[in-house]
Structure 1
Amino acid sequence: MKNTSIIFTIILMIAVFMGGCNKNSSVPPEKQIKENTSKTLKVYTTIFPIEDFTKKIGGKYVDVKSVYPAGADAHTFEPTLKAMMDIADADLFIYNGAGLEMFIDKAEKTLANEKVEMVEASKGIELLRGHDHNHGDHEHEHGEDHTDGHAHENGDEEHGHEATEDEHDGHNHGHEDGHNHEAGHEEHGHEDHTEDKHDHGHEEGTEEYDHHDHGHHHHDQDPHVWLDPIHAIKMAENIKDALSEALPSAKDEFDKNFQNLKEELEQLDVDLRDTIDSAEHKELLVSHASYGYWQHRYGIHQISIAGLSPENEPSQKHLQSIIETTKEHGIHYIIYDQIPSTKVVKVVQKETGTKPVTLHNLEYLTEDDIKNKEDYFSIMNKNIETLKTVLGK
């Protein structure tokens, strides 16, 4: 009797085990694999802000890596063959666009038949049109015309460009300086144009807003849109939409994370505006024309040594004009990016007696940035502190 009981117990255990196996085996193996792998998206990015925003929005549902190593020049970087193979196997490749990444045109052709979805983060943003700084004499007096051979005929006497509705709608922070920013940042893909009323002269490194034709990659436009928090919101929104399309089951989480990021960017916009509005002067002597969008939105006046790319160095005539203008305005600081300064920048620094300081353009992280676990906001807040120093209080 005892043996019969033992045998019955063993048979019952086997039956339960087999029943469980049969239940699991009712799901096709390929579906099980798909369910296990679809919960994490493999994403490659270019510049640091895109990498950071994707991580913040995607959370636990994304595995994000930048193709840029520490210290890479975003304007001239070319990915290795291995990097291109890794991108081809990813779910998404998110890049800035606007002519920043010179390898994108070639990459689009190479990856056309691969599974990876290419996402342009700057899509829908009105870009400032740039010039290369390799010619012409630039006058920096407010209200004076440039003599660099670029005619501004769009009817904006004070800027040489039109401002877009994307620049102004939805951002009223209570200022009386001609910026009418209404509460909320709900729409960022505007097409209508309104006039911008800054009295800060023309852009150095930018001329006017131009429509972003996404069928082509324009290399004559200012790509540094991520430094403007309002444009950064649009970039984040594009990233959120791409993640939601790739993984609809996590859409609610992506929406929630995007809203949190958007609020932080809106606060950063307020902090930048307050800092620049209260400054003693608005002139910045910069090594590289990264700050055209700050100039357009907040009214700083960048005097740039190199053009939109650090490779675009000034002519001798332009160089002399920069030195004279710097002395005329009594500028005490020269602003470097996080990249090593060029010889021509050092010449300007020596001739003007200015003190070198750093503004981080966020195109990439340095080894120290990585070690210190910096993110977009920690770097931008440091930039604000630097602006308080160089613009005075």
Structure 2
Amino acid sequence: MIAKTKMLSLSFILLVGLFLAGCNSETNNTTQTQIDTNNTDNTTKLAIYTTLYPLKDFTEKIGGAYVNVTSIIPPGADAHTYEPTTKTMVDIAQADAFIYNGSGMEAYAEKISSALKNEDIKIIDATVDLSLVEHNHDHEEEAHAEDEHGHSDEEAHAEDEHGHSEEEAHAEDEHGHSEEEAHAEDEHGHSEEEAHAEDEHGHSDEEAHAEDEHGHSENAHTEQEAHSEDEHAHGDIDPHVWLDPIRSIKMAENIKNALVELMPEHQATFEQNYEALVADLNELDSKFHELVHEASQTKIVVSHAAFGYWEESYGIEQIAISGISPTDEPSQKELQKIVETAKQYNIKYVIFEQNVTPKVAELLRNEIQAEPLYLHNLSVLTEKDIENAEDYFSLMNKNIETLKIAFGNN
């Protein structure tokens, strides 16, 4: 750590206590690499904490001898559900920098940033200024609508979710069944009569209701726009940006710029290391293009929707069993559609990940009599990865070999 005295403010300590009081914090605080406090080569090093593993790896590759980096997420943990402990929060506050992925991946990161705003620490959102991909789950919404109601009225409700006015959908709901009316009550938090009165008239009550549900003013958004923003806040933006080599270049650039600000005297070293990293990422990108070019088919059934950036960048179509988070389990109708799609395209594998194995994915694998394969989502390392000295590129190259099998390239 850069030689300086870091006194934690009382306000920070109190804020940490209040924040963590409402969290189900991880009891296991083992981190992927502990910061080495015994600096034997007398080189001044930056003490840096990160969330996801690729951020740690990129920071080490760029910072070289001038950084000590710790990933706060324990080996093998689910990065979607991890919450930091009080000790971790205090350790971060005493470091020189904290780097997180952003894009909705770490629910706790913004709270940490807020808690640390008066502390002597640099906060880096690695995905700032990146072009992000939305998780496309239109077919899931249609299946969910049919599964939930099973009537023609739900087709109108599905249309409502896909861009038609809420008034049209609820007008049909009014003449439908009590289940939809209850659903409207449950969704909007009003009585049945109030909800349908708003839908029938479409006047200021509906606009006020949009403000109440989404917290936006009438002049800023329509109800539909507010609903869209609310969906994005709950994770419709795909946060798995690090799996895209080209977008990872921008993440690495953001990290490099932060290191230069913290240690401008070593800018030349950081720039040189960054350029070497960029060259490796470009080479990895070329390997993905070559992989897809040689493939007869590029559809994969995966345990959760972690690979949307491969679809956007290379045309590798993921058929996801669970959503953006592994806890977003599919409906029965969605499962049936996945089974039908897998059989239609003669997909012979269901792909699991190193740290998440939804039970429903195993059930589906048995249903379609598929073989298991494993992709590494790189959000965290496993103990075995650490023992084998794996890094971002070794794991991504193994992913390419797995995809060759899934595509039938071998």
Whole-angstrom CA distance in 1 between matches of 2:158 and 2:258 = 41
Instruction: Please tell me whether residue 65 in structure 1 is matched to residue 81 in structure 2.
Output: no
* Cα pair 1:136 1:317 within 8 Å, conserved: no
Q: Calculate the TM-score normalised by the size of structure 1.
A: 0.70
More helix by proportion, 1 or 2?
A: 2
**1:105 alignment partner, SS class:** helix
Distance change (3 Å), C-alpha of 1:30 and 1:106: closer
Q: Calculate the TM-score normalised by the size of structure 2.
A: 0.67
Whole-angstrom CA distance in 2 between matches of 1:330 and 1:376 = 31
Instruction: Please tell me whether residue 151 in structure 1 is matched to residue 156 in structure 2.
Output: no
**2:49 alignment partner, SS class:** strand
Residue 38 of structure 1 deviates from its aligned partner by 8.8
Match of 1:89 among 94, 100, 104: 94
* Cα pair 1:132 1:312 within 8 Å, conserved: no
Amino acid at match of 1:234: K
Distance change (3 Å), C-alpha of 1:131 and 1:300: closer
Distance change (3 Å), C-alpha of 1:324 and 1:46: same
Whole-angstrom CA distance in 2 between matches of 1:132 and 1:76 = 21
Larger C-alpha radius of gyration, 1 or 2? 1
Whole-angstrom CA distance in 2 between matches of 1:340 and 1:57 = 29
Unmatched 5+ stretches in structure 1 = 1-28, 139-146, 154-212
**Equivalences for residues 29-108 of structure 1 within 5 A:** 39-108=44-113
Tell me what 2:277 maps to.
Answer: 261
Unmatched 5+ stretches in structure 2 = 6-40, 145-156, 165-228
**1:137 alignment partner, SS class:** helix
Whole-angstrom CA distance in 2 between matches of 1:105 and 1:364 = 20
Instruction: Please tell me whether residue 325 in structure 1 is matched to residue 341 in structure 2.
Output: yes
* Cα pair 2:43 2:65 within 8 Å, conserved: no
Residue 218 of structure 1 deviates from its aligned partner by 6.8
Tell me what 1:233 maps to.
Answer: 249
Amino acid at match of 1:82: K
Whole-angstrom CA distance in 2 between matches of 1:93 and 1:126 = 22
Whole-angstrom CA distance in 2 between matches of 1:220 and 1:75 = 14
Amino acid at match of 2:278: K
Instruction: Please tell me whether residue 303 in structure 1 is matched to residue 319 in structure 2.
Output: yes
Distance change (3 Å), C-alpha of 1:223 and 1:148: farther
* Cα pair 1:46 1:66 within 8 Å, conserved: yes
* Cα pair 1:105 1:217 within 8 Å, conserved: no
Q: Deviations over 1:33-63 (max 9, x none)?
A: xxx9993111000100000000000000001
Whole-angstrom CA distance in 2 between matches of 1:110 and 1:362 = 28
Give % identity: 47
Distance change (3 Å), C-alpha of 1:360 and 1:30: closer
Match of 1:124 among 111, 120, 129: 129
Whole-angstrom CA distance in 1 between matches of 2:127 and 2:387 = 28
Q: Deviations over 1:82-105 (max 9, x none)?
A: 000010011110010000001112
Residue 262 of structure 1 deviates from its aligned partner by 0.3
Distance change (3 Å), C-alpha of 1:297 and 1:354: same
**Equivalences for residues 347-386 of structure 1 within 5 A:** 347-386=363-402
Q: CA RMSD in A?
A: 2.5
* Cα pair 2:235 2:324 within 8 Å, conserved: no
Residue 72 of structure 1 deviates from its aligned partner by 1.5
Whole-angstrom CA distance in 1 between matches of 2:281 and 2:163 = 32
Distance change (3 Å), C-alpha of 1:62 and 1:280: same
Runs (4+) off by over 2 Å: 36-39, 130-138, 147-153, 216-220
Residue 235 of structure 1 deviates from its aligned partner by 0.5
Residue 325 of structure 1 deviates from its aligned partner by 0.8
Instruction: Please tell me whether residue 272 in structure 1 is matched to residue 278 in structure 2.
Output: no
* Cα pair 2:135 2:238 within 8 Å, conserved: yes
**2:327 alignment partner, SS class:** coil
